[in-house]
Amino acid sequence: DTEVTQTPKHLVMGMTNKKSLKCEQHMGHRAMYWYKQKAKKPPELMFVYSYEKLSINESVPSRFSPECPNSSLLNLHLHALQPEDSALYLCASSQDHLGRSSYEQYFGPGTRLTVT
């Protein structure tokens, strides 16, 4: 199984809402990532989990809160978002990380988030 799944596919939320994005992989990968992608732009790294521990936070605002309950699951909790946070949120996984990025990443289909 080389699939990364993400739910929901689409999410519309108000600025006062709390919601969560979910990501799952069953490839035995020990590194998982959250990216944010705006239209016609490349993905921007937000967080990296390595062996279920947060290893990188790319100065992401605290209204985004990641969580890695186990080696297969990755969540992104959203609270008090702004309209400019509207984007495609992509989850990815790779074989390993250990501070390096040498392995290919497998991406989920993304969650299209709209903040109203």
Partner 1 sequence: SQQGEEDPQALSIQEGENATMNCSYKTSINNLQWYRQNSGRGLVHLILIRSNEREKHSGRLRVTLDTSKKSSSLLITASRAADTASYFCATAPPQGQLTFGSGTQLTVLP
Binding site for partner 1 (CB under 8 A): 4, 6, 40-43, 45, 48, 56, 88, 90, 92, 99-102, 104-110, 112
Nearer to partner 1, 79 or 112 (CB): 112
Q: How far apart are the first and last CA of the chain?
A: 36
Nearest distance from C-beta of residue 58 to partner 1, angstroms: 8
Nearer to partner 1, 73 or 103 (CB): 103
Residue 66 CA, distance from chain mean position: 8
Nearer to partner 1, 84 or 104 (CB): 104
CB atoms inside a 10 Å sphere around CB 41:
10
Nearest distance from C-beta of residue 51 to partner 1, angstroms: 17
Task: Give me the torsion for CA of 22, 28, 30, 36, rounded to 10°.
Answer: -30
